[in-house]
Structures are given as C-alpha cells and as structure tokens.
Amino acid sequence: MRNLLFRCSFAGTNYFGFQKQKRFISIEETLEKAFMEQTGEQVTVIGCGRTDARVHAMNFYFNVTTNSGIPEERFPLALNCILPDDIAVHECREVPMEFHARYHTKGKTYLYQIWNDRTRNALLADRAYFYPGEVDVEKMRRAGQDLCGTHDFSAFMAAGAQVKSPIRTIYDLTVEKSGPMISIEVTGNGFLYNMVRIIAGTLLKIGRGSFPEDCIPGILEGRDRRKAGSTAPPQGLYLKEVYYDISKFENRR
C-alpha cells in the first residue's frame, strides 16, 4: 500500500466543484473513475479543499492510497490517458501514510480575474468575470491592504456557512491590471466559504465608487455579511497554489 500525492489542474466550467455530488458531476468523481479504469481499484480521492461549481485550479493537490504498482513518474501519464481534456495530472510523489492533502495544508493562494473592457472577450467567457464599467484599480489596491493580517472574516463568508472559527490570516493581497485584465491575488492560511469571491466583489465595489475606499475596517468590525459587496461570479476564480510543510513528513520516511 502506498500513499501518493498528486498535483493536477482543471477547468471547472463543466463541473459542480471538486467534491462529489449526488446528482451532478464533480472533479473528485471523475478522478476516482479514472483510477478505477486504470488500476481496477475503488480508491478515495482526498482533495486539498473544496471548490465551487465553475471554479478553476492551476495547482490542486490530492492524495490516494493505492496498491497499484504503477511507478510515480508514470502515474500522471496513465491517468491523463483516461481523464477528459479539462483535467490534467502533472506530478505524483509518494508520501507517508499519515499525510492528508487537506488537513496538512499550511496556506493557499487564490487568483480572481476581471476582464475590464467595453466589450467582452469571447475566449474568456468561462475564465474571467466580464465587467465593462470604469474601475479605479489604485483604490482597490489600497483598500485591499486593510484585509491583510489576522481578522474575523464573518462579513466575507457566505450567509449560513458554519465553521468552528471565522478567524483567518491573509498574508498578502495584490491588485494588478495588465491591459483590460484586473487580477486580484490573495494568499492566506485558510479561507471561508466564498471568502475570496466576496473579497473580489467588495473590492470591485470600491473600484467602481459604490463603496468608500476606507470601508474595509468597518466591514470587518461589523461582522455582517450584508455590509460587504456581492459575491463575484465563480468563473473568475482560480486556486493558484497550495502550500505544505512537507519536510517533516519526508524526514519520518
């Protein structure tokens, strides 16, 4: 028995998120079916987190315990022969049996993309949020710094979501514009349900002038979801990177 850690990417347009659904297709289910077809094993895919429907991932990690003898370096190619074109496995490595792709994450980076032009980009219809209005990126950038640090992010969590604690730490938040594309990148130790999409929607409100530039501290302090901006659409969101302290597990091998 081996515990294998995989890195993959996927376009989430055709899926109802990563986690298995009773009535809808998911990334997790698709991966497990590929393992079954390639190895004959009924495996459980353990993802590094959940994603919403239509959300994408540049780097998503999952682990699987398997009896398959396929070498690590060949496993990505073996799975990619079966997987649909919108899911790709890039790397595979053996990790200790106690390693868990979700519970051992130390942080993540998310990217949210906004196509800010007078006309939509047909090639980005499912890859970015199209917003044609005037946006002050400098205001968004300055306001975003008020989100950095350790805070109670209740106001940036989907209504009705239940967590043990809404306290999270954002290490870095950047807002950049290249041509018509506005990119919001957020790195933190963890994220609440819809947190990044609500951050994006709030910053966009600030950039449009609908919210004052200095509103973030008050929204955080109020802990009221209704005071923050709307939840930005899912197609602009990407899981960019996942961080692990993998060395302590390697040292025990």
User: Which of these, 108, 74, 67, 109, lies nearest to 91 by C-alpha position?
Assistant: 74
**Helix pair angle (195-208, 137-144), 10° resolution:** 130
For 131, 196, 205, 222, the CA distances from 212, given in Å and listed in that order, are 19, 19, 9, 16
Q: Answer whether 205's CB lies under 8 Å from 211's CB.
A: yes
Q: Count Cβ atoms below 10 Å from residue 146 Cβ, excluding itself.
A: 17
Cα(177)–Cα(138) distance, rounded to whole angstroms? Answer: 10
Compute the Cα dihedral for 83, 86, 87, 88 and give only its sign.
positive
CA atoms of 10 and 29, how far apart (whole Å): 13
Q: Is 52 among the residues known to form the active site?
A: yes
Catalytic residue among 52, 172, 224, 245: 52
Phi and psi of 225, rounded to 5°? -55, -30
Coil, strand, or helix at residue 124? helix
Q: Let me know: does 190 contact 108? Beta carbons within 8 Å.
A: yes
Residues identified as active-site: 52
